[in-house]
């Protein structure tokens, strides 16, 4: 329990703090006033003042906040600050960049974490190794067996299972030459088999059925860590971050399309459970989960919902497009609607979490 609590505090607190750090860094770059930068919420346990900004450590360590001068109203300028430092009086493009910096900081953090994982633990590669063979499939008819390592298809070397799957899907049912390595006692034997994929259906990661060219094999699940240099780790980190961003965005779309059931939406309780479980498995798994949560947090904040960063970004874009601010009353009404939607979503997600615990 102690490991879970500490892990949840460090992960969620760190992610939200990094998010706020993005806002803070860009605001200070534009010389905007920041009255307070707090690590945590609630009563302040420690504080100090550097320049005009008060830096604080607060009681509740789940996150942090940045208090921008005149964030909502130019009349809300604390003593010691000038109108030139007021956030609401700055050009729309500057406010846009300050708000955008928070979600981008979360995506940057994910890239740093994935890069660190690739550098120190290596990049996990799912080997093109057969785990099982479907009965009466092209693979069974050609003589493929569990444990066979597929080396190449039509002379095209395979680095991982994804390469194998892509080569099969691009074959369009044409005969393929599989070079495989098979263990025979203490010896490895290389052989070639010829087979043609068949049109069939399979389920996607979101549970949808899709038509694809298949040979009837499943992965063994064996993973190999590929060592990376600093440069290649940075590239691998970017590729993994981009892949997870695309997958997360696709997940949001599938949720709206109701392909993904609404009861799969999770909230703080589910996140705490996942973090606790990964913390017990080891640091590498915990860092990978942290990167994924950071991506989800960044993308969620980019949704064009008032009270989220995406809503403010939308207001700034409209102001830049129409060259005048959105009416204050319209913004206030939109904020109320956005807050209602956000609270409803949080309650729904928490309800799902509780129901999962009850059913477990």
- pLDDT tops 80 at residue 62: no
Q: Quick one: pLDDT band at residue 286, thresholds 50, 70, 90? A: very high
- Residues 67, 17: contact at Cβ < 8 Å? no
- At 289 the pLDDT is 93
- In this structure, the number of other CB atoms found within 10 A of the CB of residue 179 comes to 18
Tokens of 249: 């965005």
- pLDDT tops 90 at residue 218: yes
Q: How far is CA 155 from CA 146, 150, 162, 178, in A?
A: 22, 11, 16, 8
Q: Quick one: pLDDT band at residue 207, thresholds 50, 70, 90? A: confident
Give the catalytic positions in this structure: 20
Tokens of 161: 């299972």
Domains of the chain by start residue, with CATH: 102-122+237-359 (no CATH), 125-225 (2.30.42.10)
What percentage of the chain exceeds 90 in pLDDT?
A: 56
Please report the sign of the dihedral spanned by the C-alpha atoms of residue 329, residue 331, residue 334, residue 339: negative
Q: E strand or H helix at 218, and its extent? A: strand 217-219
Q: How far is CA 148 from CA 38, 127, 152, 187, 193, in A?
A: 56, 11, 12, 13, 12
Q: Quick one: pLDDT band at residue 299, thresholds 50, 70, 90? A: very high
Tokens of 332: 């206030």
- pLDDT tens digit sequence for 175-195: 999 999 998 877 889 999 999
Q: Quick one: pLDDT band at residue 174, thresholds 50, 70, 90? A: very high
Q: Quick one: pLDDT band at residue 58, thresholds 50, 70, 90? A: confident
- At 346 the pLDDT is 85
Q: Using a cut of 0.95, tell me whether the model's pTM lies above it.
A: no
DSSP H helical segments within the chain, as ranges? 2-29, 92-120, 138-142, 161-169, 230-256, 268-281, 283-302, 309-322, 328-359
- pLDDT tops 80 at residue 351: yes
Tokens of 295: 């991506």
- Residue 202 to residue 94: CA distance in whole angstroms: 48
- pLDDT tops 80 at residue 76: no
- Residue 190 to residue 182: CA distance in whole angstroms: 6
Tokens of 308: 């989220």
- pLDDT tens digit sequence for 233-273: 999 999 999 999 999 998 888 888 777 777 778 777 888 88
Best mean pLDDT range from 32-41, 69-78, 105-114, 339-348? 105-114
Tokens of 174: 């044409």
- At 263 the pLDDT is 78
Q: Quick one: pLDDT band at residue 214, thresholds 50, 70, 90? A: very high
């Amino acid at each position: 329990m102690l490991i879970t609590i500490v892990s949840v505090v460090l992960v969620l607190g760190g992610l939200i703090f990094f998010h706020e750090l993005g806002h803070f860094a860009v605001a200070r770059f534009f010389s905007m006033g920041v009255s307070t930068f707090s690590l945590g919420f609630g009563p302040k346990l420690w504080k100090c003042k550097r320049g005009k900004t008060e830096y604080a450590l607060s009681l509740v360590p789940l996150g942090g906040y940045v208090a921008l001068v005149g964030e909502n109203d130019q009349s809300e300028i604390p003593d010691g600050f000038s109108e030139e430092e007021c956030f609401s009086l700055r050009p729309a493009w500057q406010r846009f960049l300050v708000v955008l910096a928070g979600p981008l900081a979360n995506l940057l953090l994910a890239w740093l974490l994935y890069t660190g994982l690739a550098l120190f633990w290596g990049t996990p590669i799912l080997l093109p190794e057969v785990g099982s063979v479907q009965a009466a499939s092209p693979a069974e008819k050609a003589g493929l067996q569990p444990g066979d390592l597929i080396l190449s298809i039509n002379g095209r070397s395979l680095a991982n299972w994804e390469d194998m799957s892509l080569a099969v899907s691009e074959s369009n049912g044409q005969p393929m030459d599989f070079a495989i390595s098979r263990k025979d006692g203490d010896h490895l034997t290389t052989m070639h088999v010829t087979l043609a994929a068949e049109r069939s259906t399979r389920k996607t990661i979101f549970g949808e059925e899709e038509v694809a060219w298949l040979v009837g094999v499943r992965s063994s699940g064996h993973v190999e860590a590929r060592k990376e240099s600093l440069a290649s780790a940075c590239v691998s980190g970017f590729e993994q971050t981009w892949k997870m961003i695309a997958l997360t965005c696709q997940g949001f779309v599938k949720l709206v399309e109701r392909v993904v059931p609404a009861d799969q939406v999770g909230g703080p309780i589910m996140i705490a459970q996942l973090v606790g479980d990964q913390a017990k498995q080891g640091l590498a798994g915990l860092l990978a989960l942290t990167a994924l949560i950071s991506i989800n947090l960044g993308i969620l904040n980019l949704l064009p919902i008032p009270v989220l960063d995406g809503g403010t970004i939308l207001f700034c874009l409209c102001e830049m497009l129409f060259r005048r601010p959105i009416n204050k009353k319209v913004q206030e009404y939109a904020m109320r609607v956005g807050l209602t939607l956000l609270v409803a979503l949080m309650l729904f997600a928490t309800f799902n979490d509780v129901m999962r615990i009850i059913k477990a």
